[in-house]
C-alpha cells in the first residue's frame, strides 16, 4: 500500500514539467535542493546526535568552490565533484577538533564556522564577488523541465542513499553513538570514528547539492547559500518534517519553500506566518510531521 | 592457582581535590565472582568506570589476561574482552528488542551495511537465554523494567566478554526477578568468565559472590568471604557506625495535635521501576525524625515527593492541607526546605551570595539576623564567606547547603544524606551543628541517612526504609536490637 502510494507521488512529481508553469517548476527545483540539505542535516542531528548549526558552512564551501573553479574554465561536472570534495575536507577539518568538545560546544563551533566563511567571502570580494555574489557563466541546462528533472533525480538518489545508510548496520551503530555514547563505546564501537564518518557523508551531500544549486541559479551569493538564516531554514525544515526519518527532512524542506512562495503576496508577513507554523509544529509535534505519522502507525 | 583474568593494582583517581579511588588493587580469576561493595560515594562506580576506560585513572594499572589496558580507549577495552552491564541505559527506541541485541553483535565498521544472517539467529538465541523470547519484536518502551535490564544483560552477553562488570544488578527488581538474574550471572561463572558485581550492600549479593571487597572513601577496608566481611568490625562501623548513642526526646504526638507533615499511602514509580510502595510517615512540630535506609531504598524519592519534585499517588499533608498539585516553589514557600543529597550549590557564587539567595524572601533585618546566627552555628562558613562555593571542601559545602536551607526560615528542614562522601572528622562537626540546632531552635527536622550512627543520636523517632517500603519504625534506642541486624 505504502509503495503504491509512493510510486503514485513519484509519478506525479516526475510528470509536473508537462502540465505546470515554469514558475512552479523553478520553485520546486530550489525546494528539492533544499530537501537534500535538510536530509544531510538530519543524518547528523537525528542519527549522530550532533546539532550542526552551520549546514551552510558545508553548502557554501561546495557552492563557492564549484563557482570559482567554473570561472577559471574548469568543466561543470568537475566543478561539482570538486565542490563536494571541498565540503568534505572542510567539514572534516572542522569536525575533527570540534567533536572532541562536549555539550553545546560542537554546535557553537559550527555556528562560528559559518560566520568565518561569510567574512572570508566578503573580505576577498575581488575573487568571490563579495556581498554582490559570484556570477557563474555555465548553467546545468537552460530548459526549466530538465533542471527540474535533474533536481528531482538528485533528490531521489540522495534520499535513497541516505535513507538506506540510516537503516543499515552502520546506521544502527551511528544511532547508538548518538543516543548513549558511553554505552556505545562499552559495546566496542569507536564513537568518534562513526560520528566523523557521518559528518563526512553529510558534508558530501551538502557540498554536492550546494554546487549543483549555484549552477542552477547561475550565481553564488552569501544570502542564498551561506547566511545563517539559510541554515536556520534548513534546520527548521528537518525538525518540521521529523527528526530521525531522513524522508521527513525532505518533505519539510519542500513544504517550507513552497509555503513561503504561496504566502509571498503577504509581503513582510510571509516569513512571520511560515515561522509561526513551524513553531507550532515543533511545539505540538516535537517528532515532526512524518515522525508523528510513524508513531501513530506504531500504535495502531 | 590459576592466573587472574583481571588484575587491578594501585588504581587511583582524583576529581580536583577529592580522591575518589585510592590505591585500589584486586584480582579476579576466570570463573570467579567478586562483589565490589561500598556505601554511596565510596568510589565503587568510579572504580568500575576506570576499568572500562570511561574515566581516566591518575595512576595504577589494569591488566586483562596479563595485558596492560589502563590507557586504552573504552571501545578498545570492550573489543579486548571486558563487558559492562549498565544499570540505566538509553536503548534505541525506534528499534525492536531484537535489533537492540543485534547492535551488540555488529563489528565496529563503517562499511558494514547489512548484518550477516547468522547475526539474526544468534541475537534470537541470546534473547531466549535471558528470557526475552516472547518480546523480541516489541519496542523497548513497551517493556517492563525487568525486561529492560534483561536486554542490557543480553547486549553484554552478545559481546561474549571474558570479564563482565555488572552495575547494581538487582536495583529495582522484585524477589522473583532477582532469582532469575542471579541464575544468569551464575551462568557467567560456569562459562569461565570473571565477574565483578558492584552493589551497595553485602546482603544483596552474598549468595552470589565468591569474594567481597568493601570500599569506603575510595579505599579498601575489607576483603574476603561474604559472611566474614559481614562480621568485620570496620565494615560494621562504616555501615552501622560504632557505638550508637541515642538522645530521644519525648514528644508525644497527642500533645502536638495535628501532625506537621503526614504522608499516607505514598507510591512512586519511575517509569516501570517502583521507588516507593505505600509509604506512611508522620512528623510532628519540633520533632527530629530520621529515615534510615541503604541507597536505592527510596529516601530521596520520598523527600522529592514531599517537595513536589516527582509525581506520586497517595497523600502528603502539610499542616492538614494536601500538597498535591502545588508547585515545588509554593511548597518551599510554605515552609518546607529541602537540602538535597547533591547539595545543588551555586558553585560560581561566593558563600555569602549562596546564603543571601536562600534568604531572598526574608525581610532585610531578619535576613541579617539569620545570617549572623548561621555564621555562629557554622563558624567555618564565616571565615570562608568570600570564597566561591565550588572551592570549598565537601564538608564545608554540606554545611553551606544546610545553612542556605536554614536561611529560608523553614518550619521543616529536610536533610537528604548530609554525610554523603564525608570523612569521619567532618561528620563529627556536622553532628555537633545538628545537635545545637536541635537544642537551641524550635525547628522540625526530617533526616534521611544511610549512616545509622549519624542518624540516630539526634533522632526522636526512626523509620527504616528498605526496597521502597517502611519496614520498621520506633524510638532510636530500640533500633539496634530490632532493626540493626538486617541492615548490612
Domain-ending residue, one of B240, B264, B279:
B240
| pLDDT at A287 exceeding the cut of 50 | yes
Between A190 and B40, residue with greater pLDDT? A190
Domain-ending residue, one of B240, B270, B295:
B240
Q: Give tens-digit pLDDT for B215-225.
A: 988 889 899 99
Q: CB neighbours of A229 closer than 8 A, spacing ≥ 6?
A: none
| pLDDT-wise least confident of B114-118, B192-196, B303-307, B401-405 | B114-118
What CA–CA distance (Å, rounded) separates B261 from A294?
A: 47
> Quick one: pLDDT at residue A274?
82
Among A138-142, B341-345, B417-421, name the most confident range: A138-142
**Does a structural domain hold residue B258?**
yes
Decide if A195 touches B, using CB distance below 8 A: no
Query: Is B48 in the same domain as B73?
Result: yes
**Does a structural domain hold residue B248?**
no
| pLDDT at B254 exceeding the cut of 50 | no
Domain that holds residue B438: 253-487
What is the average per-residue pLDDT within B149-164?
Answer: 92
Query: Is B16 in the same domain as B159?
Result: yes
Mutate to test the interface with A, among B75, B149, B154, B196 (most CBs of A within 10 A): B75
**Does a structural domain hold residue B247?**
no
**Beta-carbon separation of A172 and B113 below 8 A:** no
> Exposed e or buried b for every residue in A34-63, given b needs 16+ CB within 10 A?
bbbbbbbbbbbbbbbbbebbbbbbbbbbbb
Confidence of residue B380 (pLDDT cuts 50, 70, 90): confident
| pLDDT at B325 exceeding the cut of 90 | no
What CA–CA distance (Å, rounded) separates B283 from A14?
A: 74
Measured between CB atoms, which of A169, A185, A186 is closest to B112?
A169
| pLDDT at A294 exceeding the cut of 80 | no
**Beta-carbon separation of A168 and B113 below 8 A:** yes
> Quick one: pLDDT at residue B256?
55
| pLDDT at A219 exceeding the cut of 50 | yes
Quote the minimal CA–CA distance from B99 to chain A in Å: 9
Closest of A140, A141, A139, A154 to residue A36, by C-alpha: A154
Q: How many CB atoms lie within 10 A of CB B222?
A: 21
> Quick one: pLDDT at residue B85?
92
Q: In total, how many domains does chain B have?
A: 2
**Does a structural domain hold residue B245?**
no
CATH number at residue B145: 3.40.50.300
Query: Is B342 in the same domain as B441?
Result: yes
What is the average per-residue pLDDT within A192-197?
Answer: 93
What is the average per-residue pLDDT within A268-296?
Answer: 82
Query: Is B207 in the same domain as B267?
Result: no
> Quick one: pLDDT at residue B488?
57
Query: Is B63 in the same domain as B161?
Result: yes
> Quick one: pLDDT at residue B69?
95
| pLDDT-wise least confident of A250-259, B6-15, B125-134, B252-261 | B252-261
Q: What is the pTM of this model?
A: 0.79
Query: Is B48 in the same domain as B146?
Result: yes
Q: Which residues of B touch A186 (CB under 8 A)?
A: 52, 54, 74-75, 78, 83-84, 86
**Does a structural domain hold residue B207?**
yes
**Beta-carbon separation of A185 and B78 below 8 A:** yes
- Which residue in chain A has the smallest CA separation from B105? A187
**Does a structural domain hold residue B228?**
yes
Do B462 and B476 form a contact (C-beta atoms < 8 A)? yes
Confidence of residue B385 (pLDDT cuts 50, 70, 90): confident
**Does a structural domain hold residue B1?**
no
What CA–CA distance (Å, rounded) separates A205 from A209?
A: 6
| pLDDT at B253 exceeding the cut of 60 | no
ipTM of the complex, rounded to two decimals: 0.86
Query: Is B183 in the same domain as B328?
Result: no
Query: Is B174 in the same domain as B263?
Result: no
Between B412 and B379, residue with greater pLDDT? B412
> Quick one: pLDDT at residue B250?
60
Which residues partner with B474 through β-bridges? B462
- Average per-residue pLDDT for chain A: 91
Percentage of chain B beyond pLDDT 90 is 32
What is the average per-residue pLDDT within B136-144?
Answer: 86
Q: Give tens-digit pLDDT for B56-95.
A: 999 999 999 999 999 999 999 999 999 999 877 778 888 8
Between B72 and B396, residue with greater pLDDT? B72
Query: Is B479 in the same domain as B377?
Result: yes
| pLDDT at B272 exceeding the cut of 90 | no
> Quick one: pLDDT at residue B92?
86
| pLDDT at B264 exceeding the cut of 80 | yes
What is the average per-residue pLDDT within B405-411?
Answer: 88
Do A191 and A177 form a contact (C-beta atoms < 8 A)? yes
| pLDDT-wise least confident of A17-31, B93-107, B229-243, B334-348 | B229-243
Between B212 and B117, residue with greater pLDDT? B212
Query: Is B344 in the same domain as B304?
Result: yes
- Which residue in chain B has the smallest CA separation from A173? B103
What is the average per-residue pLDDT within B270-279?
Answer: 83
Query: Is B198 in the same domain as B274?
Result: no
**Beta-carbon separation of A172 and B92 below 8 A:** yes
Decide if A164 touches B, using CB distance below 8 A: yes
Do B57 and A185 form a contact (C-beta atoms < 8 A)? no
> Quick one: pLDDT at residue A197?
94
- Average per-residue pLDDT for chain B: 86
**Beta-carbon separation of B109 and A187 below 8 A:** no
What is the average per-residue pLDDT within A151-165?
Answer: 96
**Beta-carbon separation of B108 and A172 below 8 A:** no
Between A102 and B122, residue with greater pLDDT? B122
Query: Is B322 in the same domain as B194?
Result: no
Domain-ending residue, one of B199, B217, B240:
B240
Q: Which residues of A touch B73 (CB under 8 A)?
A: 185, 190
- Which residue in chain A has the smallest CA separation from B153? A187
Amino acid at each position: 500500500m505504502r509503495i503504491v502510494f509512493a510510486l503514485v507521488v513519484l509519478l506525479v512529481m516526475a510528470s509536473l514539467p508537462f502540465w505546470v508553469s515554469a514558475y512552479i517548476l523553478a520553485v520546486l527545483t530550489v525546494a528539492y535542493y533544499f530537501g537534500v540539505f535538510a536530509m544531510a542535516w538530519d543524518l547528523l542531528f537525528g542519527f549522530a546526535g550532533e546539532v550542526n548549526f552551520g549546514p551552510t558552512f558545508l553548502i557554501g564551501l561546495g557552492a563557492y568552490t564549484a563557482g570559482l573553479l567554473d570561472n577559471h574554465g574548469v568543466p561543470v561536472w568537475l566543478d561539482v565533484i570538486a565542490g563536494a570534495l571541498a565540503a568534505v575536507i572542510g567539514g572534516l577539518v572542522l569536525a575533527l577538533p570540534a567533536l572532541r568538545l562536549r555539550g553545546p560546544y560542537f554546535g557553537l563551533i559550527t555556528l562560528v564556522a559559518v560566520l568565518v566563511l561569510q567574512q572570508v567571502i566578503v573580505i576577498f570580494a575581488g575573487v568571490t564577488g563579495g556581498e554582490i555574489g559570484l556570477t557563474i557563466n555555465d548553467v546545468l541546462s537552460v530548459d526549466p523541465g530538465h533542471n527540474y528533472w535533474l533536481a528531482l533525480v538528485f533528490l531521489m538518489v540522495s534520499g535513497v542513499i541516505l535513507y538506506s545508510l540510516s537503516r543499515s548496520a552502520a546506521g544502527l551503530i551511528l544511532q547508538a553513538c548518538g543516543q548513549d555514547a558511553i554505552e556505545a563505546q562499552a559495546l566496542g564501537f569507536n564513537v568518534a570514528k562513526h560520528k566523523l564518518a557521518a559528518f563526512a557523508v553529510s558534508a558530501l551531500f551538502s557540498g554536492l547539492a550546494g554546487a549543483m544549486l549555484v549552477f542552477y541559479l547561475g550565481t553564488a551569493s552569501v544570502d542564498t547559500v551561506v547566511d545563517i538564516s539559510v541554515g536556520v531554514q534548513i534546520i527548521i525544515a528537518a525538525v518540521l518534517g521529523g527528526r530521525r526519518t531522513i524522508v521527513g527532512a525532505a518533505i519539510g524542506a519542500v513544504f517550507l519553500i513552497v509555503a513561503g512562495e504561496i504566502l509571498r503576496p503577504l509581503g513582510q508577513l510571509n516569513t512571520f506566518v511560515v515561522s509561526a507554523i513551524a513553531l507550532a509544529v515543533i511545539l505540538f509535534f516535537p517528532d515532526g510531521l512524518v515522525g508523528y505519522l510513524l508513531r501513530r502507525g506504531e500504535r495502531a | 592457582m590459576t592466573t587472574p583474568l583481571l588484575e587491578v593494582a594501585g588504581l587511583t583517581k582524583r576529581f580536583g581535590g577529592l580522591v575518589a579511588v585510592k590505591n585500589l588493587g584486586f584480582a579476579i580469576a576466570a570463573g570467579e565472582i567478586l562483589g565490589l561493595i561500598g556505601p554511596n560515594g565510596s568510589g565503587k562506580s568510579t572504580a568500575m568506570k576506570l576499568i572500562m576506560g570511561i574515566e581516566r585513572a591518575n595512576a595504577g594499572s589494569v591488566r586483562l589476561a596479563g595485558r596492560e589496558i589502563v590507557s586504552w580507549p573504552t571501545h578498545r577495552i570492550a573489543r579486548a574482552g571486558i563487558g559492562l552491564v549498565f544499570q540505566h541505559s538509553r536503548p534505541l527506541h525506534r528499534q525492536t528488542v531484537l535489533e537492540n541485541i543485534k547492535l551488540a553483535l555488529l563489528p565496529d565498521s563503517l562499511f558494514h551495511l547489512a548484518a550477516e544472517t547468522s547475526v539474526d539467529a544468534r541475537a534470537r538465541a541470546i534473547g531466549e537465554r535471558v528470557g526475552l523470547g516472547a518480546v523480541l519484536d516489541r519496542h523497548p518502551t513497551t517493556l517492563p523494567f525487568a525486561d529492560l535490564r534483561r536486554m542490557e544483560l543480553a547486549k553484554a552477553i552478545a559481546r561474549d566478554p571474558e570479564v563482565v562488570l555488572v552495575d547494581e544488578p538487582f536495583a529495582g527488581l522484585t524477589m522473583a526477578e532477582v532469582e532469575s538474574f542471579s541464575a544468569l550471572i551464575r551462568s557467567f561463572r560456569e562459562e569461565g568468565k570473571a565477574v565483578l558485581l558492584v552493589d551497595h550492600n553485602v546482603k544483596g549479593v552474598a549468595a552470589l559472590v565468591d569474594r567481597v571487597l568493601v570500599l569506603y572513601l575510595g579505599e579498601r577496608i575489607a576483603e574476603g568471604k561474604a559472611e566474614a566481611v559481614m562480621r568485620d568490625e570496620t565494615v560494621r562501623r562504616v555501615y552501622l557506625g560504632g557505638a550508637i548513642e541515642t538522645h530521644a526526646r519525648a514528644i508525644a504526638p497527642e500533645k502536638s495535635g495535628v501532625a506537621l507533615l503526614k504522608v499516607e499511602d505514598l507510591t512512586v514509580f519511575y517509569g516501570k521501576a517502583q521507588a516507593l510502595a505505600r509509604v506512611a510517615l508522620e512528623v510532628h512540630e519540633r520533632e527530629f525524625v530520621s529515615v534510615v535506609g541503604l541507597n536505592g531504598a527510596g529516601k530521596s524519592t520520598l523527600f522529592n515527593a514531599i517537595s513536589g519534585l516527582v509525581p506520586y499517588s497517595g497523600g502528603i499533608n502539610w499542616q492538614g492541607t494536601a500538597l498535591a498539585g502545588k508547585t515545588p516553589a509554593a511548597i518551599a514557600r510554605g515552609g518546607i526546605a529541602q537540602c538535597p543529597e547533591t547539595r545543588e550549590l551555586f558553585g560560581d557564587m561566593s558563600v555569602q551570595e549562596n546564603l543571601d539567595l536562600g534568604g531572598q524572601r526574608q525581610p532585610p533585618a531578619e535576613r541579617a539576623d539569620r545570617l549572623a546566627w548561621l555564621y555562629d552555628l557554622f563558624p567555618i562558613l564565616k571565615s570562608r564567606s568570600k570564597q566561591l562555593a565550588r572551592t570549598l571542601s565537601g564538608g564545608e559545602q554540606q554545611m553551606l547547603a544546610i545553612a542556605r536551607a536554614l536561611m529560608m526560615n523553614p518550619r521543616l528542614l529536610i536533610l537528604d544524606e548530609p554525610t554523603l562522601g564525608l570523612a569521619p572528622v567532618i561528620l563529627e562537626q556536622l553532628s555537633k551543628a545538628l545537635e545545637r540546632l536541635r537544642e537551641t531552635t524550635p525547628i522540625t527536622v526530617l533526616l534521611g541517612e544511610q549512616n545509622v550512627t549519624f542518624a540516630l543520636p539526634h533522632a526522636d523517632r526512626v523509620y527504616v526504609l528498605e526496597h521502597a517500603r517502611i519496614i520498621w519504625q520506633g524510638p532510636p534506642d530500640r533500633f539496634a536490637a530490632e532493626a540493626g541486624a538486617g541492615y548490612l
